[in-house]
Amino acid sequence: MAYGYGNPDSGFERSMRERIIETAKAMSVGGTDFSTFKDSRCNPKYWIRTANGGFQLRSDVTPSAAINDIFVNGRLYAFECAMAMVMIFYKATIDMIGEDAFNQHFTDLFLWDWNYDSNLRLITTFDPSEMQPGDVVYFKNPDHDPDKPEWQGENAVLLGNNSYYGHGLGIKGAEGMIASLNRERVPGSRISAYLTDEALHPDFAYLQTLSSRAAGPLKRNGDARNKIFSRIGVKSYVSI
């Protein structure tokens, strides 16, 4: 669903897609580790690790500083692939709308799976012809080892020219992503992993408006874990 803000083919969208791609590449060499929620870790200077393995923003730091720290002190962080995609979107948003606007509109962040702030306004499409570099896509592994649920699929940023970044798998072509997932199937399985038709990206036109809006009251802090939840690969979306 589009929200009708501005021109969806604007230079802002092109620039932000480029920033998403560059941010994904930065994460690939930034020292962060892949982990399940059970073994996740974060920099306690900026985040509080919660019992479910998520990262809650500390009240005494700004959202932009906390997100930027993931890309500066990557060795202090370990998380799974959906969290990585949200982090990449947040970092690209900071670079495009500026720290002040980000801090105004993205408050009380909570990083866990596909949980994200409602101002990100992620849009899902189901037409492969609409996939563009800068989208997040999903490689599904339907016959994954049931003892390793983390390998049921891989969220990845489409970098262009058959190149994808998936947290934990690095930068590979589609064939490489599929081969990596196939190694985590039930022994003897002949059902291959595959690239689904789903693609996910922020509402670029809406985000562009955030950088130019007049300053207003900040959103009230609340339980960010209840703000909005979405997950590519499952097609279920819940928000309040």
pLDDT, tens digit, 9 for 90 and up, residues 98-157? 999 999 999 999 999 999 999 999 999 999 999 999 999 999 999 999 999 999 999 999
User: Domain for residue 6, yes or no?
Assistant: no
Asked whether residue 188 is domain-assigned, the answer is yes
Quick one: tokens of 192? 């291959």
b/e for 17-44, b at 16 or more Cβ within 10 A? bebbbbbbbebbeeebebbebeebbbbe
Evaluate whether residue 239 is within a structural domain.
no
Domain assignment of residue 143, yes or no: yes
Q: Convert the pLDDT of each residue in 153-175 to its tens digit.
A: 999 999 999 999 999 999 999 99
Residue 224: inside a domain, yes or no? no
Q: Pick the closest to residue 233 from 144, 117, 103, 108 (CA basis).
A: 144
Q: Is residue 230 part of a domain?
A: no
Domain span holding position 74: 11-214
Overall number of domains in the chain: 1
- 2 lies in a domain? no
- Kindly state whether residue 56 falls inside one of the protein's structural domains: yes
The pTM of the full predicted model, rounded to 2 decimals, is: 0.87
